[in-house]
Amino acid sequence: MGMTMTERILARAAGQSEVRPGEFVQVPVDLVFGQDTTMPLAVIEFKRMGAERVFDPDKVAIVCDHFVPNATVMAADRTKSLREFALQQGLEYYFEAGRGRNFGVEHALLPEEGLIAPGMIVVGADSHTTSYGALGAFASGFGSTDIAAAMALGETWLRVPETMRFVYWGDLGPWVGAKDLILHTIGRIGVAGALYRAMELTGPVIESLTVDERLTMCNMGVEAGAKNTIVPVDEETERYLEVVGVSEAFVCEADPDAEYHSVIEIDVSEVEPQVACPFSPDNVRSLTDVVGTRLDAAFIGSCTNGRIDDLRLAARILEGRRVSGNVRLIVIPATQNIYLQALREGLLEVFAEAGAAVSTPTCGPCFGGHMGLMAAGERVIATTNRNFVGRMGHPESEVFLSSPVVAAASAVMGRIAHPDEVVR
Amino acid sequence: MIVQGRAWKLGDNVDTDQLLPGRYLSLTDPRELASHCLEDTIPRFSELAQPGDIVVAGANFGCGSSREHAPTALKALGISCLVASSYARIFFRNCINLGLPALTSPEAVLGIQDRDRVRLDVATGEIENLTRTFQCSASPLSPFLLRIVEAGGLTDYVRSRLRAERSMDR
C-alpha cells in the first residue's frame, strides 16, 4: 500500500520503510526555531532540562519578529536574553530588526534565507510553521517545551497524521488568488476540519501558483487545525530553491495508491474574492456579501501576505490613489529583503504617497502586540491569518481577513470594497 | 490521581488568544501570566479561579497560536485538569509537556454545567458530576503520552534522559 507525501517524508526521517497514520515515530529534526515570544520560555526549559549545548548550532534558528523593534522595555529585555543565548550557543541564524543583512517575519524570512528544503523535518515554536510545506518540507508548529527538547536532543516525537488531499482545478476569476483559495477551503471544512491531519494541496491551480502564493496557503492550514500542509515539489519550487541557494533536497511524491482520509475537489472557477468575518477564520463570506461594511483601518503585511507578490498586488490598487480620510492604512513588508525590493520597484513610494504608514518588518499588529492596535468598537480589514476576539487589540474590536487587493481597495474606499470599484 | 473542584465551562473553539492575550506575550513568569488568563472572556477569572478547579470545554480547545503561555497560565492558577470534547494539537501537546492533565470526552461537556462540582480520576478517566447525577469516562492517554506525564512532564523526561546519556559517556 502506498504512502502520501507526508508519510514518505516521515518514514525516511524515522529510518523506516513505511509509516502508517496513528503510528508514533521518533524523528531527527533538520531545523528547530522559535521567535521572541516563544523562545524565551524554550530557553528557560532548555536550562531546566540540564542541557548545556544545542544539538547542532547550524540547525537552530532564532527570529525576533513579534515585539521588534522592541516595543517595550520588557520586550527589549527578552530580545537581549535571546541575543546572548544565540551568542553563547554559537548560533549562526539569529535574526533581529535593524541588525544584519536580512531580518523580518520568520515564515517569510527562513525560506528566503535558504534554510528550508524539500523533505526536511522543520519544527518551530510558532503555529504558522505549517508555511514551509509550500517547499515540500514537513513543517509543524510546537510549544516552547517541545522546542527546548528538540534543541537539546535533536529529535522529536510525532504521531503520523492522516492526510486530506485537496485538488484545486478550474480557472481563477479576476482578483481571486491564493488567500481566497485558502479562506474558501477553511470556510468549507471549518476551523477543526483538518484537526491532527496533513493537508496535501494539489491540482493544476496549485501548480500555477508561485512559491510565495503557496506559502500563503500553507501558512493558514493551521487555521483548519492541520498538523502540516504540503505542496508537491515542481519546477516552480526548483526555480525558487535555485534563487535562494538550496541545492540539497529530498524530493518525493505521493504514491498513486496512497491512502487518504478524504479527497476534496475544489472548482476554483466558482470562488469569488473571500472575506473571513469576526470572530473565526472559518466565518467566510463572498466579498460581495460584505461590501460596504464600515472600517476604521486596513493592514497589509504579516507571514500570510507580506511578501513581494502581495505588495505588488496592493500597489496596483493604490497607485495614484489616496487612502480614504475615514481609515488609516498600515503596510509592513515581511522582511528586509522584501522591503528593499519594494523600495527599488517604487512600491513603498506608492504606499507612502497614498497616505499609508509603512513600517520596518514586524509581526506587531497581527497578534495585537504593537504598531497599530484597535480601540473598542473599531473595525480593521487585514491580510493576516486570525480574527479571534481581541486579536488585533481591544476585545470589542473586529478583524476581517482578506487578500491584499481587497484590503487595498477597502483602504481607498473607506469601507469593505471590491477591487473593481477602484480599478476599472 | 483523583482531583475534585468546581468546573469552569467554556464553549467550542476557545483559542489561545482568549486564554492569554497577545499583548502579554513578553511575560515569562507563570504567576504574572496567570493574572491575565481569560481576562477578555471571563472578567476577573484569575481572582475567581481556585486551586483544584477544572476547565471543561467543547471542541478544538486551545486552537490558534502555539503560545505555551496559555496552558502555563492555567496551570499556575492551580487548574487541576482540563476536560474537552477535543483539543487543538499544539495546545494538547503543551498541556502534556507541562504535566497539566488534559482528558478528552465529548460527553463531559454535555453533562457538566458552569460551577458544578466535579470529581475525576486522571489515570482511569472516570468523571463524576457531584452537583447533578452524571457520570462518564474520558478516553485514556496513549501509553506513549502517559510515559511523559508520569515523568512529570517533558522537561523532567528530557532531564533524566540527558543525565542517563552523560553517565553512560563516563
Question: Is the CB of residue B147 less than 8 Å away from at least one CB of chain A?
Answer: no
**Reported confidence tier of residue B165, pLDDT bands at 50, 70, 90:** confident
> How many interchain CB pairs under 8 A, A with B?
137
d(Cα A106, Cα A127) in Å, to the nearest integer?
Answer: 11
Q: Average pLDDT for residues A280-306, to the nearest whole number? A: 98
Q: Average pLDDT for residues A160-177, to the nearest whole number? A: 98
Contacts of B28 in chain A (CB under 8 A): 40-41, 44, 78
Supply the pLDDT for residue B166: 86
Strand A357-358 and strand A379-382: the pairing is unpaired
- Spatial contact of A311 and A300, defined as CB atoms under 8 Å apart: yes
Supply the pLDDT for residue B144: 78
Do A130 and A247 fall into the same domain? yes
Peptide bond into B43 cis (omega under 30): no
The mean of the pLDDT values for chain A is 98
Comparing alpha-carbon positions, the chain A residue that sits nearest to B159 is A49
Q: Which residue has the cell 538550496?
A: A246
Instruction: Compute CA A110 distance to the chain's CA centroid, rounded to the nearest angstrom.
Output: 11
Judge: B159–A145 Cβ closer than 8 Å, yes or no. Answer: no
Question: Is the CB of residue B155 less than 8 Å away from at least one CB of chain A?
Answer: yes
The strand ranges marked E within A83-219 are 93-96, 121-125, 138-141, 155-159, 163-169, 198-202
Q: Which of A265, A288, A305 is the last residue of a domain?
A: A265
Question: Beta partners for A316?
Answer: none
Do A351 and A329 fall into the same domain? yes
Question: Per residue in B72-93, pLDDT tens?
Answer: 999 999 999 999 999 999 999 9
Q: What percent of chain B has pLDDT over 70?
A: 99
Closest by alpha carbon to A137, among A250, A254, A55?
A250
Do A281 and A261 fall into the same domain? no
d(Cα B121, Cα B130) in Å, to the nearest integer?
Answer: 13
Closest by alpha carbon to A105, among A394, A401, A399, A383?
A383
At B67, which amino acid appears? R
Q: Average pLDDT for residues B120-130, to the nearest whole number? A: 93
Question: Per residue in A299-338, pLDDT tens?
Answer: 999 999 999 999 999 999 999 999 999 999 999 999 999 9
Tell me the CATH architecture of domain B2-139.
Answer: Alpha-Beta Barrel (3.20)
Asked whether residue B150 carries a pLDDT value surpassing 80, the answer given is no
Element containing residue B54 per DSSP (H, E): strand B54-57
Judge: A51–B158 Cβ closer than 8 Å, yes or no. Answer: yes
**Reported confidence tier of residue A422, pLDDT bands at 50, 70, 90:** very high
Asked whether residue B145 carries a pLDDT value surpassing 90, the answer given is no
Classify the phi-psi angles of A368: left when phi > 0, otherwise alpha if psi is within -120 to 50, otherwise beta.
left
How many domains, chain A? 2
Do A191 and A228 fall into the same domain? yes
d(Cα B157, Cα A61) in Å, to the nearest integer?
Answer: 24
Contacts of A225 in chain B (CB under 8 A): 60, 63, 88-89
Question: Per residue in A93-119, pLDDT tens?
Answer: 999 999 999 999 999 999 999 999 999
Judge: B59–A192 Cβ closer than 8 Å, yes or no. Answer: yes
Strand B126-129 and strand B134-137: the pairing is antiparallel
Do A57 and A160 fall into the same domain? yes
Contacts of A155 in chain B (CB under 8 A): none
d(Cα A403, Cα A312) in Å, to the nearest integer?
Answer: 12
A25 class by beta-carbon count within 10 Å (0-12 exposed, 13-18 middle, 19+ buried): middle
d(Cα A162, Cα A290) in Å, to the nearest integer?
Answer: 35
Closest by alpha carbon to B67, among A190, A388, A405?
A388
Closest by alpha carbon to A273, among A191, A177, A416?
A177
Do A85 and A147 fall into the same domain? yes
Give B 14-43 residues with CB within 8 A of chain A: 15, 17-18, 21-23, 25-28, 40-41
Strand A297-300 and strand A138-141: the pairing is unpaired
Question: Per residue in A34-76, pLDDT tens?
Answer: 999 999 999 999 999 999 999 999 999 999 999 999 999 999 9
Residues 6+ apart with CB under 8 A from A306: A105, A108, A300, A332, A333, A334, A335, A338, A361, A383
Comparing alpha-carbon positions, the chain A residue that sits nearest to B24 is A369
Supply the pLDDT for residue A119: 98
Q: How far is B6 from chain A (nearest CA, A)?
A: 26
Asked whether residue B142 carries a pLDDT value surpassing 90, the answer given is no
Asked whether residue B140 carries a pLDDT value surpassing 80, the answer given is no
Do A252 and A315 fall into the same domain? no
Do A329 and A224 fall into the same domain? no
Do A187 and A287 fall into the same domain? no
CATH code (residue A65): 3.30.499.10
CB atoms within 10 A of CB A102: 15
Element containing residue A24 per DSSP (H, E): strand A24-28
Asked whether residue A249 carries a pLDDT value surpassing 90, the answer given is yes
- Spatial contact of A96 and A66, defined as CB atoms under 8 Å apart: no
Q: Which of A221, A239, A265 is the last residue of a domain?
A: A265
Do A123 and A216 fall into the same domain? yes
Comparing alpha-carbon positions, the chain B residue that sits nearest to A72 is B26
Asked whether residue A17 carries a pLDDT value surpassing 80, the answer given is yes
**Reported confidence tier of residue B167, pLDDT bands at 50, 70, 90:** confident
Do A227 and A290 fall into the same domain? no
Q: What percent of chain A has pLDDT over 90?
A: 100
Q: Which of A199, A231, A265 is the last residue of a domain?
A: A265
Do A288 and A191 fall into the same domain? no
CB atoms within 10 A of CB B119: 15
**Reported confidence tier of residue A204, pLDDT bands at 50, 70, 90:** very high
d(Cα B20, Cα B76) in Å, to the nearest integer?
Answer: 13
The strand ranges marked E within A153-286 are 155-159, 163-169, 198-202, 228-230, 262-267, 274-276, 284-286
Domain range spanning residue A120?
5-265
